[in-house]
Every structure is written in C-alpha cells, then in structure tokens.
Amino acid sequence: MIDFLLNALSPLNLSLALFGVAAGTVIGSIPGLTATMAVAILVPLTFVMPPDSALILLGAIYTGAIYGGAYAAILLNTPGTPSAIATTFDGYPMAKRGEGDLAVSIACLSSVVGGLVGAIALLLLAPPLAEAALAFGPVEYFWLAIFGLSLIAALSTGDFLKGTIGACFGLLLAMIGVSETSAEVRFTFGSQTLLGGIETVSALIGLYCIPVLIDLVATPAKHLEIPEQKRGFRLPEAMTTMLKNKFNLMRSSVIGTLVGALPGAGGSIAGLVSYSEARRSSRDRDSFGKGNPAGIIATESANNATVGGGFIPTLVLGIPGTPPDAVILGALLVQGVRTGPSLFSGSADIVYTFIFGLLLATILMLPVGLIIGRFAYGAIVRAPKAALVPAVAFMTVIGTFAIRNSISDVVIMILLGIVGWLASKRGFSTSPIVLGLILGSIAEQGFVQSWTIGDAIGDLWGQFFGRPLSMVIIALTLMSFIYPFVPKIKSIVNRSNNTDEEQRERAPKASVIKDLIGFAIFGVIAATVVGLSGKLNPDAAVFPHTVAVAMLCLIGLAGVMLIITRHVTEQRIQGSKLRMLAVPSVMMMAVALMPFLGFYISALLLGLGLVLPSQHDRFTTKGWFWLVIGLIAVILSFSILFNQVLGVPLPKASLF
C-alpha cells in the first residue's frame, strides 16, 4: 500500500489532481455544465497518460465539478450541477442575509469530508458494497424514488397539497418524449423538438434561475447583503458549525456513499435523501429552507460521497454508478483496462494508486475550493444588478445550449422559468416540480418493470410490498411523509386552540379565484394526460396515467379545501411589472434572432438589452462605459471559451 501511496504522490499525479480539482470546480460552477460534461471534455487528455494518472485526473475533475455546483446554488439560487439542487434550499437564504461566505466555506468543508468518506469506502469496502448494490431490483429503485419524493413534505412552503400537485406535474414533464420502458413516443403533440424529452439540467436552470432574475430586476434592493467588513474564509465559524452537526455530516456521507454505489441513482438523489433525513431528525425543522447550515452540510457531504461510492460498482462490477462514471469507464476501456472483480487483484497498482490519488484530490479541494469560492462570492456580492442580471442571463442561455447544442432547449428553459415564476407566486413551490422531474424516469422504470414482473407471476401486491428491502424503504418513506405533520397532529389530538390553521385569515375573493384558476390549469394538464394515455400501449401508459389520476384527485381535494377554508398560500408581486416582463421578453427575442444573426451578436443584444431593465443605480458616463465594456468582454470571452476550448458549435448567422 505504501508503494501505491508514493505513486499517487508523484509530481505528475499531484499536478494532475490539483489541475483536475481546479478545472472541475470552475466548470461545475457554470450552470449547464454538469460533472459529466466536465469529465467528458477532458477525457481526450488522458489517452496519452498511464491508466492510474488518467484515473486520478478524471476523478479529480469529477469531485471538483460536484463541489463547484454549490457556488451557483448558494449565490444565484441555481444549481450548477443537478447534485446541488438541495444546496439551494438553505444556501441561497444564507447568502441573502449576508452569510454567503460562510455558506461557501461550509459547503467546501462538507464536500471534503463527504469525498473522503466515499474514497475510504472505495478503498476498504468496495467488493461487499458492490454485492449489496446488486440486491436492489426494479421495485427497490421505485420505492427509493418515492422516498426521494417524500421530501415534498419538507419543500412545500406552507401548502402540502400544492407541493404534491407540483411534484405530479414534474413527474408528467419527465414522461414527455420517447418512453424508456417501451420506446413509444408520447405527449409530444407532433413536435420533433419534444422527442428527446425535457432536458433535466436545462429545466433546472429555467425553474430556478429565471424566477430569480425576474424578481431581481423588479426592485432596487441588493441581490445579496454586503458584509460591512472583510471576514475572510470564516473557517473557525464553519468548523464550529460542522462540529455541531457532526452526526448529520457522517450520516449524510454514509448515505451518499451507499446511494452512489447504486447504479443510476446519482448525487441528486443522495443529496435529497440526506437533506430529508437531516430535516426529519432535527429539533429545529422549521428553520430548514430558511438558511439552516445543516441543510448545506447534509447535501454537500452526500453528493461528494457519491464520487467514491459511484466508483464501487464501476470498478468492481463494470457497471457505472453515475453518468460521469460511465464516461470514465469508457476512457479506461480505450486504454485497455478491463474492470470487474479481477481488477483489484490483477491491476492492483492502477486501482490503489487511483484511490489514493482520489483521496489526495479531495484534500486539495479544501484550499482550491475556498480560494475559488471566495473569489466567486466577492465578485457576485459586489456586482451591480445592471451587470449581474445580463451576465447571469447570458450564462443560462449558453449553458443550456451547450448541453445538447439545441436552441429549442433554450426556449423550453425560458418557458419553464416563466411557469416556475408564475407557479411560485401562487404558492406552488418550484422544488417539488424539480424533484418530480428528476425522479420521474427512475420511478417509472422501477414501477413498470415491477408491474410487469408482478403481473407475470400473478402477485402484484407481493412484488411491490413483499420484499424485505422494499418494506424498509416504505417504512422510511412513511416516516418522512408523516414526521413534518406530527406537531399539527398532536395539536388536533390535544384539541388545542389557536392552531396555525385557525389563526390564518380567510383570503380575499380575488386570491381564491386565482388559486382556482391555477388548479383548473393543472387539472386540464392531468386530464389531457389521462386521455392521451388511453392511446398508448400499457407499458408506456401505466405510470403517467396513474400519476395523472392521482393529480386529479389531489386537485379536487385542494379545490374543496380552498372553497371551505379560503386559506391561500401565495407570494405578492412586488416591484415594476414592466421590468419583470422585460427579462423573459429580451431573452426570447435574442434566442429567436440566433439563427439569423448568429450566437455572438444575439448574445451581445441579450446582454445589452437587459442592462436598462436591471439598472437601478446611477452611473457616471465613465461608469456606463466600463459597465458596457466589461459586459461585452464577459460575453465574448465565454462564447469563445465554449466554442473554441469546449467544442460547443454555437449557431452561425444565416443573413451574412
């Protein structure tokens, strides 16, 4: 083992680990550039390297990209990678109240600890954990997805029924396109654009980032609270917070390792499950979603632990644990390295050098992550809105386009952003919609396969509810759903007066009507799915039909309760509506012009077109000059970077 450690400590491998972590962190921080893309972009560099060095570079990029997603999640409320979804729940509220620097440091420390736990598990427990992962069949994956959906109880800000309806809507969005279970086209309405389905990352960008930009331009209030004095990395405070949450930290790291070892699960599920468990077991559950550091600790430790966990089935079984692992597996096959049970004995020098290199890369992530995070925080917190809004809007467009090189994805991203903003104003939290969208394919595959097996053996009930591992996950799911309602149940049992429901004022008629209209729109969507499902084959129809029927029942229940109680959860629209309208309008116009004017000119028009709607501060002529020059420089430099370095084929002009 000492020899393998010394090999990992060679100047070449240390340099590759440092470069990989830094590059992965930067790439992961850009919305739209996922960990999978970060690894895929740099794979060609590894073809001329020894296999162990290649693995160290790719592993370092992977772990850096997973952590890098926390920057945008905390500072912009936009997950840089899907794994950072739950980081937005408490990271952004912390940043809003002026503690973004502390949130970034906590995320970095949590990521390091989670990464170390995952890498140590890979070193010591790879074979037994790989065998345990094989015990998960389709029905266990289905219940694992439902367990993730139980987080709705925590994410539904004030209205559980609206949150559940939103989750059903997200599940239906995930059903658009070619069915993964039967290869049948569904819910595309004849559109070629929708054949590939709703791209998950672009949907995340739209649902999370566009509403923030719309609200950002509406008022002159600062994006984030600016600290009165420089506070450095705030490591002592971060360490103290970590020690207070040490059990949460270790539990989430273990959950991340175990979920990462399940082929196809990934960091987003690990983060959501860990967040749910952290909230469920906390004595201060109400503070989650409002800036509780424990939420960041749970998410970031879990999603980075999936790096080491995901390598377990990849190296031991040759089955990729996560999408980046699939890319890395392909790179190994190109080099002639065959993964499988014999890898740890026949190629021990490669495997153990890589594992020690992964441990070193995770340790190097601490200084690299803190330095880059400090720079990112300082840049965003001090940027005027007239510069921040156009730059972020541009990044959402180019990041979304880079995923599948599709202008249609950019249009869908903007439209989903508008839907997310409207839904949030009516009390439909965005997070349950995102949760349903992410878990939809996993839930459907598990459900349909389990249904088919159960139908074939004539025991549907036993297939879904008779397996011991499934029963454990079902029990955890029920606990997660019910636990947030325990205080309300206790108050009802004790017949206590002055409950929150009784203290809520009856909403005005206009608000009730707006909610009923919202329910009606969702009802039409669900009814349409029910109708179209009847024309599909059973495998393609059973899951969306079940979800749509459940959604209709929930809408009916919510409508009845609304009429009886007249209790409405909503957010008031504040600020200039004209400025709000300008954000999606300018973005859509710029995207519409791309096929004619090309990406560069359209991107410049997008950036310059959003300067005035987002400008609330007074600038001198010199200030305006440098603002415009700086914005043009950012747009052109990133466009060139994506086009020339990352190989993204940006649209060219057809008019000239």
634: in domain = yes
Rounded Cα distance, 43 and 65, in Å: 14
Angle, helices 200-218 vs 407-425, to 10°: value is 50
- Cα 166–Cα 167–Cα 173 angle in degrees, nearest 5: 90
SS3 429: coil
Count of alpha carbons within 13 angstroms of residue 66, beta-carbon side: 36
The maximal CA–CA distance of the chain, rounded, in angstroms, is: 78
Q: Look up the domain containing 612 and give its range.
A: 579-645
- At residue 455, φ and ψ (nearest 5 deg) are -70, -35
Cα–Cα–Cα angle for 127, 133, 136, rounded to 5 degrees = 155
At residue 250, the pLDDT reads: 94
Bridge partners of 178? 185
CA angle 231, 235, 239 (to 5 degrees): 140
Give the helix ranges, DSSP H, for 494-535: 500-503, 509-533
Q: Residue 230: what pLDDT?
A: 67
Is 213 among the domain residues?
Answer: no
What does the chain come to in residues?
Answer: 656
Helix axes 468-482, 267-281, angle to 10 degrees: 60
DSSP string spanning 89-142? HHHHHHHHTT-HHHHHHHHHHHHHHHHHHHHHHHHHHHHHHHHHHTT--HHHHH
pLDDT of residue 447: 87
With respect to residue 630, please indicate whether it lies within any of the assigned structural domains.
Answer: yes
Q: What is the pLDDT of residue 54?
A: 86
Distance CA 166, CA 164 (A): 5
Q: Over 66-100, what HEC string results?
A: HHHHHHHHHHHCCCCCHHHCCHHHHHHHHHHCCCH
Residues in contact with 531: Cβ distance below 8 Å, sequence separation at least 6, in sequence order: none
Handedness of CA 70, 321, 245, 488 (dihedral sign): positive
Total number of domains constituting the chain = 1
**Beta carbons within 8 Å of 220's beta carbon, 6+ residues apart:** 616, 617
Residues of the chain under the 70 pLDDT cut: 130, 133-134, 151-158, 226-230, 264-266, 341, 344-345, 483-504, 655-656
pTM of the model: 0.83
pLDDT, tens digit, for every residue of 20-68? 999 888 888 887 777 777 787 777 777 778 888 888 888 899 889 889 8
The partner residues of 185 in beta bridges, in order of sequence, read 178
d(CA 1, CA 123): 11
Rounded to 5 degrees, φ, ψ at 178 are -80, 125
Asked if residue 629 belongs to a domain, the reply is yes
Is 633 among the domain residues? yes
pLDDT for position 413:
93
DSSP assignment of 450-497: HHHHHHHHT-HHHHHH-SHHHHHHHHHHHHHHHGGGHHHHHHHHTT-S
**Does the residue 375 lie in any domain?**
no
Residues 6+ apart with CB under 8 A from 614: 216, 217, 385, 386, 388, 389, 390, 579
Does residue 449 sit within a domain?
A: no
pLDDT tens-digit map of 350-385: 888 888 898 999 999 999 999 988 888 888 888 888
Cα–Cα dist 385/387, whole Å: 5
Q: Show Cβ contacts of residue 206 under 8 Å, excluding neighbours closer than 6 positions.
A: 396, 400, 412, 413, 414, 415, 416, 417, 420
The residue among 377, 370, 288 whose CA lies nearest residue 93 is 288
Q: Answer whether residue 608 is part of any domain.
A: yes
Name the DSSP class of 186: E
Gap between the Cα atoms of 327 and 37, Å rounded: 9
